[in-house]
A and B are shown apart, each in its own frame.
Chain A
């Protein structure tokens, strides 16, 4: 008599890797992703501990001579009014990260529910919400941010509002698309059959399942937002002097390209490194959370 191996009569499959272990295995398998993560952690530390790390006061004029080239005292030289470039670069990371994280947060808080509601309720609600998002998407991101920042007036909080509005439709679109496919699952139907309210289904069933693509999108958007913030402050909208923003540093630095190229290139490199890091970590998250999103986000 054959000994029964399992109820179904088949050899049991090896226990699946736990979600978390699979995630770690894929996420850390690529060198660039790990590099991006290290850069981001370092950047976060630099931004948080800026007052202790920065060698000089970033706002104090005349800590060095005007337009010093890099030397032992001032590793990245000084600007026209003798401020230490390295210190300003370090404080600039605070601006970049703050604008990035807060804008992503605001855009997500408004965009994701809009998308889920549109996708779940469908029909007329869907048309209204998604056409409004389409209309918003007709405005190029930088143009929309520029106009809103102009209407609201400069200042970092208005830049954050402007960038949040400009990126909101992206979240709504992705959330709506994911909701449309999640809605077809049987567990949604059973939830409805048990008499769960729409709100409960959206919050308890759809939102958690829609999360992986959204978290990937948010990470990728952080890079794009930091680029956009740099673009705005480069044009002269956003943070007001003497505040330190990388884009603004590039804009003033470009007048001294012949004598002090590092004034413009140092903040440029900082922006590039950060954007690259966010893109790589986003890539890694996508591959680890849901490889099917490849090419979509």
Chain B
């Protein structure tokens, strides 16, 4: 197990280096000079003498060769310095500290719901295969994986927000300020983010449960006279969880991708909305930092998933 973890860690470090290279060089491929963009947004470009632009270039370290810039960038990140936003005139690190908790709050609630309900739904559909419960759950999961996230959002806004006026249609409040309002505002965005992973988890759980149920050791368990609960929970569920865990790990990426759309629709001041506004505002320091942090989170979660995978299934560890 230790060798397996060490091997996975070394791989992860290597992937992390590649991620930094990708983020850094893609942002350097930008059309246009970052200094010109910076100047154009802060002051009048024409009024700025070329010497001052050169001075700024020096100040931001953009006159150095590319590999030195890269090393400086990495060094700064390790010190928690992600640069300064052109648009907000604030440290990007501070900006992200404000915005990431909002996105993670919604995202984690959605992921937990998607995992728990998805597993339960898949389990029920599998053990009641072909019965009415399966006939309801399975078509619903098809809808769940095909419905565009913004369609769900608009449907919810239209029905629960506009027609019934049950829920507020925009905004975000910290649960520490006003828990009740926060929860009410959270319901629609969380549903939108959770539905895809819920449906995907349910489908995966159902098919892997069906596969496990057909195994000999399940028949043995039944033959021993064990109760349904013991057979299902102890023997079948444990073994069919393995492929589902990978899917849950992939869900992090889906949550970040979805947050871009959801936070735009519901006017939630999270990192997804910051991303969109920074892209339109050409605030590339922010875009670079957010992309990097998201990729690192995805990398870490998948590392944890991989390690737990190896822990659950020895065949993978030694494979």
- A contact set with B: CB distance below 8 Å: 131-132, 134-144, 146-148, 150-151, 153, 223, 227, 230-231, 234-237, 247, 250-251, 254, 257-258, 261, 264-265, 268, 271-272, 275-276, 279, 294-295
Instruction: Give me 26 A-to-B residue pairs in the complex whose CB atoms sit less than 8 angstroms apart, sorted by A's number.
Output: A131-B11, A131-B18, A135-B15, A135-B22, A138-B19, A138-B299, A139-B253, A140-B298, A142-B261, A143-B256, A143-B260, A143-B294, A144-B291, A148-B26, A150-B279, A151-B27, A151-B31, A231-B260, A235-B276, A250-B150, A254-B157, A257-B154, A257-B162, A265-B155, A271-B148, A295-B243
How many angstroms from the CA of A236 to the CA of B31 in the assembled complex? 19
Give me the 5 closest cross-chain CB pairs, A-B, nearest first: A142-B257, A135-B18, A140-B253, A268-B151, A138-B295
Asked whether A272 lies within 8 Å of B146 as measured between CB atoms, the reply is yes
Q: For A227, what are the chain B residues with a Cβ–Cβ distance below 8 Å?
A: 148
Say if the beta carbon of B142 comes within 8 Å of chain A. Answer: yes
Interface contacts (Cβ under 8 Å), in number, total 130
A271/B151 contact (C-beta < 8 A), A139-B291, A139-B294, A235-B264 known: yes
Bound complex: CA of A140 vs CA of B31, how far in Å?
A: 23
Decide if the interface of chain B is mainly helix, strand, loop or mixed: helix
Contact A265 B154 (CB under 8 A): yes
**Counting CB contacts under 8 A, is B274 at the interface?**
no
The chain B residue with its CB closest to the CB of A279 is: B146
The distance in angstroms between the C-alpha atoms of A279 and B252, with both chains bound, is 22
Neighbouring B residues of A131 by C-beta, 8 Å? 11, 14-15, 18
Residue B69 CB within 8 A of the other chain: no
The CA-CA distance from A272 to B155 in the complex, in Å, is 13
Query: In the complex, which residue of chain A has the Cβ closest to the Cβ of B203?
Result: A295
Neighbouring A residues of B279 by C-beta, 8 Å: 146-147, 150, 237
Report Cα–Cα, A236/B273, bound state, in Å: 13
Given contact pairs A140-B298, A146-B275, A235-B264, a sample of 9 additional A-B residue pairs in the complex whose CB atoms are under 8 Å apart: A135-B22, A138-B302, A142-B256, A142-B260, A231-B150, A231-B261, A235-B260, A257-B162, A261-B158
B152 to chain A: closest residue by CB: A268
Nearest residue, chain A, Cβ from B287:
A147
Is B47's beta carbon under 8 Å from chain A?
Answer: no
Which residues of chain A are within 8 angstroms of B18 by Cβ–Cβ distance?
131-132, 134-135
A142 and B276 alpha carbons, distance in the complex (Å): 11
Which candidate, B51-59, B110-118, B180-188, B204-212, is the interface stretch facing chain A? B204-212
User: Which residues of the partner chain B approach A234 to less than 8 Å between Cβ atoms?
Assistant: 150, 261
Interface string of B13-31 (1 = CB under 8 A from A): 0110011001000110111
B137 at the interface (CB under 8 A from A): no
Complex CA gap A257/B252 in Å reads: 31
User: Chain A nearest CB: distance from B65 CB in Å?
Assistant: 21
Which A residue sits closest to B147, measured CB to CB?
A272
Contacts of A254 on B, CB cut-off 8 Å?
Answer: 150, 154, 157, 265
Q: Are B29 and A279 in contact (CB under 8 A)?
A: no
A250's partner among B26, B151, B275 (CB-CB below 8 A) is B151
Q: Does B149 contact A (CB under 8 A)?
A: yes
Q: How far is the CB of B62 from chain A (nearest CB, A)?
A: 17
The minimal Cβ–Cβ distance linking A193 to chain B, given in whole angstroms, is: 28
Q: Is B104 located at the chain interface by the 8 A CB criterion?
A: no
In the complex, the answer to whether A139 meets B151 with C-beta atoms within 8 Å is no
Check if B189 is an interface residue, CB within 8 A of chain A.
no
On chain B, the residues within 8 Å of A236 by CB distance are 280
Measured CB to CB, the nearest residue on chain B to A228 is: B257
Q: Which A residues are CB-close (under 8 A) to B19?
A: 135, 138-139
Q: Which residues of A contact B5 (CB under 8 A)?
A: none
Instruction: Tell me the minimal C-beta distance from A212 to chain B in angstroms.
Output: 19
B residues near A271, Cβ cutoff 8 Å: 148, 151
Bitwise, B282-304 to A at CB < 8 A (1) or not (0) is: 00000100010011101100100
Tell me, rounded to whole Å, the shortest Cβ–Cβ distance linking A85 to chain B. 15
Question: Of A139, A150, A272, which one neighbours B295 at CB under 8 angstroms?
Answer: A139
User: Which residue of the partner chain, among A139, A250, A295, contacts B298 with CB atoms under 8 Å?
Assistant: A139
Q: Report Cα–Cα, A294/B209, bound state, in Å.
A: 13
Kindly list chain A residues whose C-beta atoms are within 8 Å of the C-beta of B150. Answer: 230-231, 234, 247, 250-251, 254, 268
Contact A295 B211 (CB under 8 A): yes
The distance in angstroms between the C-alpha atoms of A250 and B154, with both chains bound, is 9
Q: Which single residue of chain A is at the shortest CB-CB distance from B26? A: A151
For the complex, is B145 an interface residue (Cβ under 8 Å from A)?
Answer: yes
Say yes or no: B146 contacts A223, CB within 8 Å: yes
Interface string of B149-186 (1 = CB under 8 A from A): 11100110110001000000000000000000000000
Tell me if B270 counts as interface (CB < 8 A to partner A): no
Q: In whole angstroms, what is the CA distance A257 to B151 when docked?
A: 12
Nearest B residue to A295 by beta-carbon distance? B207
Complex Cα distance A247/B150, Å?
Answer: 9
Q: Does B254 contact A (CB under 8 A)?
A: yes
B15 / chain A contacts, CB cutoff of 8 Å? 131, 134-135, 138
Check A140/B294 contact, CB under 8 A, given A151-B27, A254-B154.
yes
Instruction: Report Cα–Cα, A257/B31, bound state, in Å.
Output: 38
- With A231-B261, A235-B261, A272-B147 as given contacts, are A257 and B157 in contact (CB-CB < 8 Å)? yes
The listed residue (A132, A143, A268) touching B275 by CB distance below 8 A is A143
Q: Which residues of B246-268 have CB atoms within 8 Å of chain A's CB atoms? A: 252-254, 256-258, 260-261, 264-265
Question: What chain B residues lie within 8 Å of A237 (beta carbons)?
Answer: 279
